[in-house]
Structure 1
Amino acid sequence: MKIAYIIFDGITWLDFIGVYDPLSRLKSLNYIPDLEWDICAFTESNKDNFGLEVKVNKIKNNLGAYDAIIVPGGFGTRKLQFDTDFINWLKTSENVKCKISICTGSLLLGAAGYLKDKTATVNFMEYETLASYCKTVSKERIVEDGDTITAGAVSASLDVGLYLCKKWAGDDAAKEIRKKMDYHG
């Protein structure tokens, strides 16, 4: 299994790290030993609003070869949802089996057309914005609809990470990873 983590300028790093940590344990604990991932971006430099930068290993790569893409949120999504070049790059993931977002990352999935006729969620402050991209806006913490999984605000990143652990490796994997993280959410 191969995951593409999508990062961008103006990202909220907890949206990324919160899902990355439990999923990386699927590999380290041997639940999915062949799990691989790339940190993908449209630009070389990708920082949060405070200047913390993470190095990417793929720039403007075709996203179609992955089994899942994970799109975190952050203030950068407000501009990127209207950036045709970025959205066209994101659309290279059209045939990817699982498209996942955290917080306002769902605005990017929506702008790419992946939420059309679906139920999705987003940060509570962006319900109105999300409504233009999907059939139904849910206030649930995690929403799975077909090939998309959307998670609410930033703190939902750990929850969706554990949700994916259970989905991809089973209940025992999710329970062990939750315990090793000492996460009681």
Structure 2
Amino acid sequence: MTLQIGFLIFPRFQLIDLAGPFDLFAQVPDCRLHLIWKDLEPLRATAGCDLRPTVTLGACPALDLICIPGGTGVNALMQDAEILDFVRTQAASARFVTSVCTGALVLGAAGLLRGKRATTHWASHHLLKELGAIPVEERIVTDDKLITGGGATAGIDFALAAIAQLVGREAAEVAQLELEYAPAPPFDAGSPRTAPLAVVERVRADSAATVADRARIIAELHAAA
């Protein structure tokens, strides 16, 4: 039976959060991929390129796996009742409910992280607790049918783990080899635990306003509950 895999995309989504997992799932036989949004007009990613959705919220089939990527546009999604209702509805019947990077905050705003172990991008990791999650500092965190990936490139690792659960380890390894995923970065700056302090401080400063806005949104969600 064809697997239905859906990625929610939105204005200012993070391209790498989507592209890595999408390419890996595309290697899986009998797997149909959907790019989901409210309409079919092109959406601009944070990197500046445009991507056209393939299906609207209303026309989207029941998904075996739903994935929410991250990006600065997550802040708007956390306050979008139509999107949150769609995510809850799909999550109720999906085999796996997943996110990459700050997409986890959308799952949290939809009430899907309460009492669940989860991760997200390190700069927003502290917000998980405010959304009822049990924060875990790992690259991939699985809790029953919930799978969350850490920041950006962790989406590749997340997708491999999800493919293994959906169709078996060998299929995941085939996809990994097809894309020659054998990371060997030239610098050890991919985590705040290993990056130079000046680099960490610069990234924190760059994201401070966005993270503060997320904290405000979460406080408003609590006030409205």
Moved over 4 A (4+): none
Q: Identify which of 37, 40, 44 aligns with 2:36.
A: 40
SS of 2:36 mapped into structure 1: strand
Paired with 2:68 and 2:155, the residues of 1 have a C-alpha distance of: 11
Instruction: Give the AA of the match of 2:21.
Output: V
Contact 1:123–1:154 (8 Å) recurs in 2 = yes
Q: How many residues align?
A: 179
Of structures 1 and 2, the one with the larger relative CO (CA 8 A, separation 6+) is 1
Say which SS state the counterpart of residue 44 (structure 2) adopts.
Answer: coil
Percentage identity across paired residues of the two chains: 27
TM-score of the aligned structures, taking structure 2 as reference length: 0.74
Summarize the Cα distance change of 1:143–1:63 in structure 2 as closer, same or farther, 3 Å threshold.
farther
Q: Secondary structure at the match of 2:28?
A: helix
Q: Which amino acid aligns with 1:13?
A: L
> RMSD in angstroms over aligned alpha carbons?
1.6
**Displacement of 1:177 after TM fit?**
1.9
Who is 1:134 aligned against?
Answer: 132
- For the pair shown, the structure with the greater C-alpha radius of gyration is 2
Does the CA-based 8 Å contact 1:23-1:164 persist in structure 2? no
- Counterpart secondary structure, 1:38: strand
For 1:96-107, list aligned pairs within 5 A.
96-107=94-105
Q: Is 1:67 aligned to residue 69 of structure 2?
A: no
Aligned to 1:180: 178
- Contact 2:97/2:147 (CA < 8 Å) preserved in 1? yes
Contact 1:42 1:89 in 2 (8 A): no
CA distance in 2, matches of 1:78, 1:161: 24
SS at match of 1:65: coil
**Residues 108-146 of structure 1, C-alpha deviation per residue, up to 9 Å, x if partnerless?**
111111111101000000012221123310111001111
Q: Residue 31 of structure 1 aligns with which residue?
A: none
